[in-house]
Amino acid sequence: MKIIKTQVGIIGAGPAGLTLAHWLKQKGISSVILENRSQEYVQARVRAGLLEQNTVDILDNLGLADRLKKEGQEHHGVYLNFDGQRIRVPFGELTGGRNITIYGQQEVVKDLTEAWQEAGETLLFETPAIELEGIETGSPKIHFEQEGGRGMVECDFIAACDGFHGLGRKSMPKDSYKEYEVTYPFSWLGILANVAPSSEELIYAYHENGFALHSLRSETISRLYIQVDNEDSVENWPDEKIWEELSIRLGTKGWKLNSGPIFEKSITPMRSYFIDNMQFGNLFLAGDAAHIVPPTGGKGLNLAIADVKHLVDGFEDFYQNNSRKELDNYSKIALKRIWRAQDFSNFMTTLFHKQDEHGSFQYQLQKAKFDYISISDSYKTTIAENYVGLPFDTFMV
Ligand code: RFL
Ligand code: PHB
């Protein structure tokens, strides 16, 4: 049996696991990463694109942002549409110069994976963690499978960065946390298309046909989403129908949507989920393993990286000062930001999605909010500072 010894055993090579590994290395703490899927699969998985200022700064400080700085696009504002009326929320002047950057999650994953491999560090693909042992002790173990054989990681701590369906959360005793979950009655149909973006900045739109979002990946690739029913399937959405619907929902006077060949189409359900305790003994959860937010606020990946920041603080305190104080506070501090992000994501989701008939009480509340945002700098500031992400020193325990 293959036995690997390290200080922190990391499950999952998504944004959380990879960032944690690099950051620990910078602090002189060793780790290995186990990943269920193949390298090709992980690097091709299309997901997020919006990086908060904190996330960009962290990757930059780790020396992992060279390509991001070159190819990513910094945005200084966002457009909000309601019934064809468009307003802009500028970031710079409302947030003291903080911005967002558009750069695909799979590009982040690719950059971090390659840098880890180039440094000669261990990342085992197609190697699922199958069982955790001794998480309540100082020497936990991760049992894994590889090419039909078995192996084990012997470590001081386990970091479960293994996403929503991972093993980490399932390995916590059921009575060690409470679960909170909201399933929204709609989903997103997301596309990637070979066409120049029709807007330099993102557009979130409420329309009586439903929500739409215009995002982008590069000067030649657009990323767009529309609200669909939970029971809907991509077969019901030929390319022409998608472009027609996007054009209606995002439309405003004097603006035209560019259309082009669609090369990726998928449907994502909208869900808010989290647990109120992200650690047990020497097992710590980070990222989607512990929480899911609906993508309307662009917060999922950014929350995962924020968890990692607090986890690194904890491990550094442990290895440098022989203290568990920061580690013991991990859930408490991480959850402050998670609650904030749950609220903001829920706010953006309920503001822009069609939930009830056009003209209903719910609709009037949404419209009243939008009308107020359009005249109030305070409301715009609230949106801007949440959207670009609050600085780390905002949250204390
Ligand atoms: P990930 O990325 O799911 O990575 C977890 C990894 O763990 C592996 N794994 C295992 N490995 C070994 N053994 C096991 N037993 C394992 N079980 C699982 C998995 O294969 C996987 O590689 O979690 P992480 O690192 O926490 O990252 C979270 C983000 O991926 C997620 O929050 C975002 O993609 C959410 N999200 C967005 N977040 C943003 O911040 N900004 C956005 O603009 C944004 N847009 C989005 C999104 C998510 C979307 N979808 C498809 C859910 C748009 C969409 C459409
Ligand atoms: C994306 O570009 O994929 C994206 C941007 C903003 C969101 C969600 C997804 O709120």
Q: Would you say residue 98 lies in a domain?
A: no
Question: What pLDDT sits at residue 393?
Answer: 86
Question: What pLDDT sits at residue 36?
Answer: 98
The ligand whose atoms approach the alpha carbon of 153 most closely is: 1
Residue 129 beta carbon below 6 angstroms from any ligand 1 atom? yes
Taking the CA of residue 301 as reference, the ligand 1 atom at the shortest distance is 40
Rounded CA-CA distance 90/78 in Å is 7
Give the residue from 312, 323, 8 showing the smallest Cα distance to 158: 8
Looking at the structure, tell me whether residues 28 and 157 fall in a common domain. yes
Looking at the structure, tell me whether residues 227 and 348 fall in a common domain. no
Q: How many CA atoms lie within 13 A of 266 on its CB side?
A: 8
Report, as ranges of residue numbers, the positions in the chain whose pLDDT lies below 50: none
Bridge partners of residue 274, in order along the sequence: 180, 291
Looking at the structure, tell me whether residues 283 and 187 fall in a common domain. no
Question: What pLDDT sits at residue 396?
Answer: 78
**H helices present in 295-360, as ranges:** 300-321, 325-328, 330-352
Q: Would you say residue 381 lies in a domain?
A: no
Residue 52 beta carbon below 6 angstroms from any ligand 1 atom? no
pTM: 0.96
Q: What is the CATH number of the domain that holds 192?
A: 3.30.9.10
Residue 141 beta carbon below 6 angstroms from any ligand 2 atom? no
Looking at the structure, tell me whether residues 185 and 170 fall in a common domain. no
Looking at the structure, tell me whether residues 197 and 242 fall in a common domain. yes
Q: Choose which residue among 47, 116, 340 to substitute to test ligand 1 binding: the one with the highest number of ligand atoms within 8 A of its C-beta.
A: 47
- Tell me the CA–centroid distance for residue 373 and ligand 1, in Å: 31
Looking at the structure, tell me whether residues 228 and 288 fall in a common domain. no
What is 45-70 written as a DSSP string? -----EE-HHHHHHHHHTT--HHHHH
Question: What pLDDT sits at residue 346?
Answer: 96
Q: Would you say residue 43 lies in a domain?
A: yes
Domain count, the chain: 2
Tokens at 106, concatenated: 């799979």
- Tell me the CA–centroid distance for residue 95 and ligand 1, in Å: 28
- Tell me the CA–centroid distance for residue 137 and ligand 2, in Å: 40
What is 91-133 written as a DSSP string? SHHHHTS--EEE--HHHHHHHHHHHHHHTT--EESS--EEEEE
Write the CA distances from 330 to 85, 325, 326, 371, integer angstroms. Answer: 43, 9, 6, 39
Q: What is the CATH number of the domain that holds 129?
A: 3.50.50.60
Taking the CA of residue 102 as reference, the ligand 2 atom at the shortest distance is 2
Instruction: Find the domain containing 240 and state its range.
Output: 181-270
Question: What pLDDT sits at residue 45?
Answer: 87
Q: Choose which residue among 211, 218, 223 to substitute to test ligand 2 binding: the one with the highest number of ligand atoms within 8 A of its C-beta.
A: 223
Residue 168 beta carbon below 6 angstroms from any ligand 1 atom? no
As a whole number of angstroms, the longest Cα–Cα distance in the chain is 66
Question: What pLDDT sits at residue 203?
Answer: 98
- Tell me the CA–centroid distance for residue 306 and ligand 1, in Å: 14
How far separated are the first and last CA of the chain, in Å rounded? 43
Q: Choose which residue among 73, 192, 202, 227 to substitute to test ligand 2 binding: the one with the highest number of ligand atoms within 8 A of its C-beta.
A: 202
Give the residue from 177, 145, 171, 175 showing the smallest Cα distance to 158: 171
Using one digit for the tens of pLDDT, what is the confidence trace for 79-104? 999 999 999 999 989 999 999 999 99
Looking at the structure, tell me whether residues 162 and 26 fall in a common domain. yes
Question: What pLDDT sits at residue 12?
Answer: 98
Exposed, middle or buried: residue 94 (CB in 10 Å: 0-12, 13-18, 19+)?
Answer: buried
